[in-house]
Structure 1
């Protein structure tokens, strides 16, 4: 599932905001992302960053996800797998990935495509989580939030 929006901001500025985990709660279209637990900028493939989350249907309400950077090609693409940290410290990823692809349309415009891909989610997870867990409007909302955020400078 994907959505695309053109923003009147250079690709490098858009990428910098996406690589800042502290901006993700402002970008999120569902309201589930609450805060960055790991606040360091995303600078390398394999980097781990955690986010504080809230969802009314989650057994704990408040919970934490762990993300692993899978794609990092400044200023053209960034993406991460989402999962959880087990009690023993082991990281498990569910098979879904968030990815932003940026296409410069000149010095002051960027086409941004947000893709949510759950094709690698194993059946045992699909038995208790419906995919996608939100409608396509979430992606559109996220892109509009991103546009507002990057336009403010």
Structure 2
């Protein structure tokens, strides 16, 4: 595959500020996730700035441990237009290692009560040594991004 990112777009019936507020709350991320892998936010503080770290408990049947934890680092924080984070893990020595893949939401207001939301998963910065581990990119099926956007739409319309 030459393209190293996938994205999906959905129009959500909510103002961009409301959508952004949901995305900036890591305690809601498990309800947005379209795969069921995201279990619970370890860090419950809302996202407020580039460089902020937040951890999520995860589960994946094909992961060596089943249950595991990811560390995310906010890379884009532009309320209410864009938010995104790198995903990685904490090493045994406490060092944080990020794999080079990023989750990004871009929000475009379509009026006072509608927002076009684009979710992008980009793995173009994944280093060769990680690619050689045999990790498939993207590590989820084609419906994941669309499912996540539909979950987001349900959450913001119910708030």
Q: Which TM class, normalised by the smaller chain length?
A: over 0.9
Number of aligned positions between the proteins: 153
Q: Secondary structure at the match of 2:138?
A: coil
Q: Secondary structure at the match of 1:88?
A: coil
Superposition TM-score, scaled by structure 2 size: 0.95
1:26-59, Cα deviation, whole Å (9 max, x unpaired): 0000000000000100000000000000000001
Q: Secondary structure at the match of 1:105?
A: strand
- After TM superposition, the structure 1 = structure 2 runs for residues 1-153 of structure 1, keeping only pairs within 5 Å, are 1-127=6-132, 128-153=134-159
Segments of 4+ in structure 1 off by > 3 A?
Answer: none
1:20 to partner: Cα distance: 0.1
For residues 140 and 56 of structure 2, what CA distance do their matches in structure 1 show?
Answer: 18
1:136 to partner: Cα distance: 2.2
Q: Where does the alignment leave 5 or more consecutive residues of structure 1 unmatched?
A: none
CA RMSD of aligned residues (A): 0.6
Superposition TM-score, scaled by structure 1 size: 0.99
